[in-house]
């Protein structure tokens, strides 16, 4: 099916879902529930925004196989690199296809996110080719704010810009998914 959304639309739909979470479920943070409870509620709101996609929590499959990533975290030595089964907090995809729109890792404020950033770079790279990744950091009082770090093509995006092109280049076209806007948008180190 492919990606029917440009980046700006995806950001707006995610923010709209977060606004619903803040409005209807802020008490989840007030009582300090597990991150999985919060991500489940967010996934419910995301499903309403992406009705033609499947929105799943902790989905550990790539087609029929277990989902694994070959990543090395900074606190693991090079000799310990191995495929580990992974469970993204939330994904927006079409099940049993390679059509992966968005992968979300979620953390409460104050929790180290470095491993999640590594995973999101891997998820948006060639192996899984998610169109976009999002690291969502929920502040202690969800009513105040949340932090969003976006990823694409295995890199962290420096900023969210308007009027970005749609997710994919036409088949056979080479270059970046974002083409000429790479310099305007910029990427992290």
Tell me the average pLDDT of the chain: 74
Q: Which residue has the tokens 């694994």?
A: 68
- Burial environment of residue 83 by CB neighbours within 10 A (0 to 12, 13 to 18, 19 or more): exposed
Task: Identify the bridge partners of residue 83 per DSSP, sorted by sequence position.
Answer: 70
Confidence (pLDDT) at 180:
30
pLDDT of 128-176, one tens digit each? 788 999 999 987 665 567 889 999 999 999 754 433 434 443 333 334 4
pLDDT for position 127: 77
Structure tokens at 109: 């404020």
């Amino acid at each position: 099916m492919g990606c029917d959304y440009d980046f700006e639309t995806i950001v707006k739909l995610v923010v709209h879902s977060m606004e619903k979470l803040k409005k209807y479920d802020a008490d989840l943070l007030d009582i300090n529930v597990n991150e999985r409870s919060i991500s489940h509620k967010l996934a419910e709101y995301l499903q309403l925004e992406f009705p033609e996609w499947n929105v799943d929590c902790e989905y550990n499959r790539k087609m029929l196989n277990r989902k694994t990533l070959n990543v090395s975290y900074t606190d693991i030595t090079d000799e310990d690199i191995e495929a580990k089964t992974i469970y993204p907090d939330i994904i927006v995809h079409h099940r049993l296809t390679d059509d992966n729109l968005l992968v979300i890792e979620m953390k409460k404020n104050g929790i180290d996110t470095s491993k999640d950033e590594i995973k999101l770079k891997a998820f948006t790279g060639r192996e899984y080719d998610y169109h976009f990744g999002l690291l969502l950091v929920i502040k202690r009082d969800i009513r105040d704010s949340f932090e969003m770090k976006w990823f694409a093509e295995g890199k962290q995006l420096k900023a969210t810009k308007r009027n970005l092109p749609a997710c994919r280049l036409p088949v056979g076209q080479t270059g970046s998914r974002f083409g000429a806007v790479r310099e305007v948008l910029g990427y992290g180190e």
